[in-house]
Structure 1
Amino acid sequence: IFGLVILCVGIYAEVERQKHKTLEGIFLAPAIILLLLGFTMFGVSFVGMVGSLRDNRTLLKMFFWVLLVIFLTELLLLFIEIIFENKMNAVFHSNIQEGIRHYYDDLDFKNILDFVQEKFSCCGGDEYRDWEVNQYHSCNGSGPLACGVPYTCCIRKAPGEVINTLCGYRTLDKERLELLDVIHVRGCIHAVGLWLKDNFEATLGIVCSLLLPQVCG
């Protein structure tokens, strides 16, 4: 049922995204990820349920092998990310820059990036200067956002502090050392990567604890 709910949400989100489509990269389309996740969860659960109710060995074997393939694929992707970290970072950076370019045109991407920047205390993809590619934040612009970064990049002095939305004003033309008390200068690719490395054992443990019982059962 949960898989079906995710699938329906994904379909609705994708229909809405198509009305105002500006981004093509799969990394920038949460609706597509929801569609794939929902379809996979619903399909696998349906096969397992029918196989169990009808005591159908073929369906139960299919259920087992699909779960095993999903488990091994996740492990493979994890190791690929570790081994080819630089190449993967370049792919993510390219997609994030494209998203930043259309930051105010795509609400889904905007909400995700704002959340990541606040949650992981980071700014941009590779670094804070990535915001230069956005026409409103470019130093060549003339608006109030010119040469600045969104407020989600700013450092909060105290938890729950009401932050000034123009706190990132005129930061793109300054050096990193000048901004250490104003905005987060580290890029989100590096911040998230460090978090994953710091929590690698816990993350792997959670994945294994969720998938291994299903595969072995």
Structure 2
Amino acid sequence: AGMAGTCRDSHFYYYGIKFALSAYATLFSILGLLILSVGIYAEAERQRHKTLEGIFLAPAVLLLLLGITVFLVSFVGMLGSLRDNRTLLKVFFWVLLLIFLTELLLIFIEIIFENKMNEVLHSNIQAGIRHYYDDLDFKNILDFVQEKFSCCGGDEFRDWEVNQYHSCNGSGALACGVPHSCCIRRVPGGVVNTLCGYRTLDKERLELLGTIHVRGCIHAVGLWLKDNFEATLAIVCSLLLPQV
């Protein structure tokens, strides 16, 4: 009777682990396919509008890479668990461990070398601002961030000087100004004045406090993450815990 009970327990444990692993891998395979589908659609739109080829300036490419990676790794795990294939399960385990350690390393690098990482991020954002009107993907993302976090540019609002249309050396209506997504909206949901940032780049910060957001988005997002530490921790854990 004791041996029979032990066998039943071991079988229950085995099938429980197998079901949990299969469900986990299947869920993330579906998630990978969804991300891949969004990436394919975004890439098709990017090609249709002939936007830039740079990786940073093409979020669609990042979605494609992320979707392919998530799907392939999860599919290997799902197949290995369903067929009890030890080789596939070992591949799944080691790849997942490598991804997990890489994510931890990136988090530690960001914490330890925060200033250096901010410089790299600032450089990339400036490159995006330089081609702001050429890349719809980047334009939409930056507009969203500037409106959501009440910020302007990467390090500060004067980053918009690098864009040929907003440069103070330009001659158009946008010259020496910033996009409307940098403007302070007094009436939420009201009609947007697209020229609200007109002639702001040649003024001092104190003169613009009631007109545009002068703080850069790198600092604004960083402050939001620190002020919302619980939410930040929850996001990090939601990314890391499923891999454990």
Q: Output the TM-score relative to the length of structure 1.
A: 0.90
Q: Is the 8 A contact 2:165 2:172 kept in 1?
A: yes
Q: CA 1:203–1:72 in structure 2 vs 1: closer, same or farther (change >3 Å)? A: farther
| Residue number in structure 2 paired with 1:158 | 187
Mapped partners of 1:101, 1:68: distance in 2: 38
Q: Which region of structure 1 is more displaced relative to structure 2, 73-82 or 206-215?
A: 206-215
Q: Does the CA-based 8 Å contact 2:161-2:167 persist in structure 1?
A: yes
Aligned residues: 214
Q: Contact 1:23–1:102 at 8 Å: present in 2 too?
A: no
2:212 paired residue among 183, 189, 192:
183
CA distance in 2, matches of 1:103, 1:209: 32
The answer for the alignment partner of 2:70 in structure 1 is: 41
TM-aligned CA distance change 1:198 to 1:62, over 3 Å: farther
Q: Does 1:96 align with 2:116?
A: no
Identity of aligned residues (%): 85
1:113 to 142, 148, 155: 142
Instruction: Flag the 1:71–1:56 CA change in 2: closer, same or farther, 3 A.
Output: same
Measured in 1, the distance between the counterparts of 2:160 and 2:69 equals 35
SS in 2 for 1:68: helix
Deviation of 1:123 (Å): 0.3
Contact persistence 1:101–1:135 (CA under 8 A): yes
Q: Distance in 2 between matches of 1:167 and 1:213?
A: 45
Higher CA-based Rg: 2
Q: Which moved more, 1:189-198 or 1:41-50?
A: 189-198
Aligned pairs (5 A) from 1:30-109:
30-109=59-138
Gaps of 5+ in 2: 1-29
Q: 1:213 to 1:170 in 2, by over 3 A?
A: closer
Query: What is the TM-score with the length of structure 2 in the denominator?
Result: 0.81
1:144 alignment counterpart:
173
Aligned-partner Cα distance in 1 for 2:126–2:177: 16
